[in-house]
């Protein structure tokens, strides 16, 4: 995703879609202080850095075929976002 000022801050649902994770999981990360918020919106610069640094969901490849497919979709989405 290219940088644009309107993408610097997203709500939790938009951020969850951006990374292919659930809104509830984003909420959990916010409550634990891992993802910063400013004015009720997720600061995507720092939140993206946290997601990349910690490889959220990258290291655990599920055995269940449905979850495995979801995993590979998330990996592909991350590659698109990071340019890797």
Q: What is the pLDDT of residue 4?
A: 53
Entry pTM: 0.61
Q: What is the rounded CA–CA span in Å between residue 79 and residue 42?
A: 21
42: burial class by Cβ within 10 Å (0-12, 13-18, 19+)?
buried
Judged by average pLDDT, the poorest of 4-8, 14-18, 53-57, 74-78 is 4-8
| Number of domains making up the chain | 1
- pLDDT (tens digit, 9 = 90+) per residue, 23-75? 999 999 999 999 999 889 998 888 888 888 887 754 445 678 887 787 778 77
Residue range(s) defining the domain that contains residue 75: 5-82
């Amino acid at each position: 995703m290219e940088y644009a000022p309107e993408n610097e801050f997203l709500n939790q649902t938009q951020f969850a879609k951006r990374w292919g994770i659930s809104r509830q999981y984003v909420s959990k990360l916010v409550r634990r202080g891992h993802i910063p918020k400013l004015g009720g919106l997720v600061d995507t610069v720092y939140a993206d850095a946290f997601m990349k640094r910690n490889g959220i969901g990258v290291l655990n490849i599920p055995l269940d075929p449905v979850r495995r497919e979801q995993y590979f979709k998330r990996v592909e989405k991350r590659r698109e976002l990071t340019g890797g």
